[in-house]
Amino acid sequence: MCGIVGYIGSKNIYKYLINGLKRLEYRGYDSSGIAVLKDSKIEIFKKKGKVSELEELITGDINSSKIGIGHTRWATHGIPNDINSHPHYSQSKKLAIIHNGIIENATVIKKGLKKRGFSFTSDTDTEVLINLIEFIKDSEKVSLEKAVKIALNQVIGAYAIVIIDQGNEDQVIVAKKGSPLVFGLGDKEYFIASDPSPFIEFTNKVIYLGDEEVAKISLEKGINITSISNQVKRPKVLELAMELQDIEKGGYDYFMLKEINEQPKSIFDTLRGRLIPKSGIITLGGFIEYEKKFLNAKRIIILGCGTSWHAGLVGEYLIEDFARIPVEVEYASEFRYRNPIITEQDIVIAVSQSGETADTLSAISLAKRKGATIFGICNVVGSSIARESHAGAYTHAGPEIGVASTKAFTAQVTVFILIALILSNKKGIISSADYQSLINELNHLPNKVDNVLKNINSKAKYIASIYKDASNCLFLGRGINFPVALEGALKLKEISYIHAEGYPAAEMKHGPIALIDEDMPTVVIASQTENYEKVVSNIQEVKARNGKVIAIINEGDNEVRNIADHVIEVPLTDERYSPLINTIPLQLLSYHIAVMRGCNVDQPRNLAKSVTVE
Ligand code: AGP
């Protein structure tokens, strides 16, 4: 996601645009830029890097401008560099646009515009959109507002756009669908932003633009809102009671809680444009070119650290179960130093949210030198690991600010599900009927995750209040949920500082059971799987030693409900997808315990969001 700001008025345009962008950097900071309309000419300043670097680029006194737009980028199309930064000119340079969202049919539109003589300087979908608008405006001889509506009826995807026209010094055109956009109503000035944080000290009177609505903002005529099909809209002016800090967190107390709750959207965004349920198709852009290598691979090695390593373990279960290709998962830090045997037949998948983890980067560089094919699963477009990989698939989770990784984990697992299903289908291992039903179930996962978040938070908080003073905690899971147990333990220990261990449930008898007593809570993932009965036995073994059991169960499971001390119910899904569901209660349990212990949830002691050193 990106941050966008716009301004029309006669006060301090420079201060609003720059400070406003700084407040939106939590939405992405790959690059930033502004455009101002001065002496009937649009001037753009933009570059890769943070807003503070942009400031050094800006020359001249732009305060004499009355209209300006600004953008801080979280790259989705085109790597972060100066050219791909926003704002973007139209070909004639008479228009400029900023955009937050994804135009999914940009490639097709671009081809059509090229045939009509348009050329492009960037790789972005945004430049395609502004040239489509310019083409319609000039060829159909309509107003900018009308051209925007016609164009938006042709695009597929999500957008929050702000457009300025050098021919009109008292007009900004704004439109949105699926990405946030809000107006601040000032005294003879109007503010536009992705959320109210950039203008909250100037005004708390806001209008939230609705989906498929277009606003024409003018100092003289005020705000006029219509739908893209020309229906007149009556905007509702709200008075905000929020503080600045709250707004950046979207009203949540911590970024971690915000990101836990963003998972229905981040999973949806990771699937968007890749999973086409109606036609039973899964396409993964960066994967297609190396599909044959994957299909002929003798072995797939998955590398990562921390949570990303846990996602890799889930990936192992998925790929081996669905595609029958041998998979090895290794800590990147171990792999790089043990003189591993690597051949040109090997595929190495690097998993990394930041794309900057030193151990993972070094490990794939080693594998690449030895001839392996490197496939990166990263959340930051253009990051070092993404650039070091031959190909890859981005998790579209948006910036993850909380040090404890949450939405990135479920997005990584989602990419592994897509890879495993594609390989299984291509190898003819799965019947087309099963393939279609798995695609349909995967399509429902964002909703199921949303249901979990809506239904279990208060239960997780209650259980957290009982066990917040525990010194140790055990997490048990079997099969594909063993890595989820590891992930739950990592979440608890890294944000609450309680010692926690994840174990395969069957392994408990080989030592950890000695730890069980009434002071040792044990979290057991007991969702319906082929090993369900064995997990029930493990719960009974813990109970027989006075251990306290917190069980994650599927709705309606009375067997475990009758033996566990606490249960958290989650919806049923295909066993192979269950990590996406079972992880959520563990994230919330750890979050609430950490908050109750007064820990700094977003920035736990001794930790960094990205370990770029060895
Ligand atoms: C997870 O909550 C931690 N923040 C940490 O283990 C993290 O997953 C690990 O450092 C790997 O980071 P990466 O995904 O950015 O490579």
Secondary structure class of 571 (helix, strand, coil): coil
Cα–Cα distance measured from residue 82 to residue 312, given in angstroms and rounded to the nearest whole number: 33
Atom 3 of ligand 1, residue of closest alpha carbon: 404
Confirm or reject: Cβ of 405 under 6 Å from ligand 1: yes
Choice between 236 and 427, residue whose per-residue pLDDT is larger: 427
Secondary structure class of 347 (helix, strand, coil): strand
Query: Contact 134/95 with Cβ under 8 angstroms?
Result: yes
pLDDT of residue 20: 92
pLDDT tens profile 553-575: 999 999 999 999 999 999 999 99
Secondary structure class of 182 (helix, strand, coil): strand
Cα–Cα distance measured from residue 452 to residue 571, given in angstroms and rounded to the nearest whole number: 7
Secondary structure class of 24 (helix, strand, coil): coil
Confirm or reject: Cβ of 403 under 6 Å from ligand 1: yes
Q: What is the 3-state secondary structure (H, E, C) of 66-92?
A: CEEEEEEECCCCCCCCCCCCCCEECCC
Mean pLDDT over all residues of the chain? Answer: 93
pLDDT of residue 465: 98
pTM of the model: 0.75
| Number of the ligand 1 atom closest to the C-alpha atom of 305 | 11
Query: Contact 548/522 with Cβ under 8 angstroms?
Result: yes
Cα–Cα distance measured from residue 51 to residue 503, given in angstroms and rounded to the nearest whole number: 44
pLDDT of residue 553: 98
Cα–Cα distance measured from residue 299 to residue 309, given in angstroms and rounded to the nearest whole number: 17
pLDDT tens profile 409-424: 999 999 999 999 999 9
Centre of ligand 1 to C-alpha 436, Å, is 33
With bands split at pLDDT 50, 70 and 90, how would you rate the model's confidence at 387? confident
In DSSP notation, 274-294 reads TEEGGGTEE--HHHHTTHHHH
Q: How many CB atoms lie within 10 A of CB 519?
A: 14
Does pLDDT of 127 surpass 90?
A: yes
Among positive and negative, which fits the CA dihedral 361, 363, 364, 369? Answer: positive
Confirm or reject: Cβ of 360 under 6 Å from ligand 1: yes
pLDDT of residue 605: 75
pLDDT tens profile 178-189: 788 999 999 999
Q: Which range is least confidently modeled, 232-236, 240-244, 541-545?
A: 240-244
Choice between 396 and 330, residue whose per-residue pLDDT is larger: 330
Cα–Cα distance measured from residue 330 to residue 297, given in angstroms and rounded to the nearest whole number: 17
pLDDT of residue 101: 87
pLDDT of residue 606: 75
Tokens representing 101 are: 């969202």
| Number of the ligand 1 atom closest to the C-alpha atom of 404 | 2
Confirm or reject: Cβ of 357 under 6 Å from ligand 1: yes
Our CA angle for 86, 88, 90, nearest 5°, is 170
DSSP category for residue 142:
-
Choice between 27 and 602, residue whose per-residue pLDDT is larger: 602
Percent of the chain with pLDDT over 90: 78
Phi/psi for 82 (5° steps) reads -60, -45
With bands split at pLDDT 50, 70 and 90, how would you rate the model's confidence at 604? confident
The radius of gyration of the chain's CA atoms, rounded to the nearest angstrom, is: 26
Confirm or reject: Cβ of 269 under 6 Å from ligand 1: no
Tokens 């209660």 -> residue: 585
Confirm or reject: Cβ of 358 under 6 Å from ligand 1: no
Peptide bond into 198 cis (omega under 30): no
Does pLDDT of 359 surpass 90?
A: yes
Phi/psi for 227 (5° steps) reads -85, 170
pLDDT of residue 603: 82
Does pLDDT of 40 surpass 80?
A: yes
Alpha helices in 357-401 (DSSP H): 358-369, 384-388
With bands split at pLDDT 50, 70 and 90, how would you rate the model's confidence at 248? confident
Q: Which range is least confidently modeled, 64-78, 224-238, 501-515?
A: 64-78
Pocket test for ligand 1, best of 310, 491, 611, 614 (most atoms within 8 A of CB): 611
Does pLDDT of 382 surpass 70?
A: no
pLDDT of residue 614: 63
Bin 297: left if φ > 0, else alpha if -120 < ψ < 50, else beta: beta
Atom 16 of ligand 1, residue of closest alpha carbon: 352
Phi/psi for 475 (5° steps) reads -120, 125
Percent of the chain with pLDDT over 70: 98
pLDDT tens profile 308-348: 999 999 999 999 999 999 999 999 999 999 999 999 999 99
Cα–Cα distance measured from residue 286 to residue 381, given in angstroms and rounded to the nearest whole number: 13
pLDDT of residue 315: 98
Does pLDDT of 244 surpass 70?
A: no
Among positive and negative, which fits the CA dihedral 346, 352, 358, 359? Answer: negative
Confirm or reject: Cβ of 308 under 6 Å from ligand 1: yes
Confirm or reject: Cβ of 585 under 6 Å from ligand 1: no
Tokens representing 54 are: 């942009």
pLDDT of residue 243: 62
| Number of the ligand 1 atom closest to the C-alpha atom of 360 | 16
Centre of ligand 1 to C-alpha 421, Å, is 26
Q: Which range is least confidently modeled, 243-257, 327-341, 382-396, 452-466?
A: 243-257
Tokens representing 82 are: 């100066």
Pocket test for ligand 1, best of 407, 610, 612, 613 (most atoms within 8 A of CB): 610
pLDDT tens profile 145-175: 999 999 999 999 889 999 999 999 999 999 9
pLDDT of residue 610: 72
pLDDT tens profile 4-14: 999 999 887 99
Does pLDDT of 247 surpass 70?
A: no
Cα–Cα distance measured from residue 578 to residue 569, given in angstroms and rounded to the nearest whole number: 13
- Please give the positions annotated as active site: 2, 609
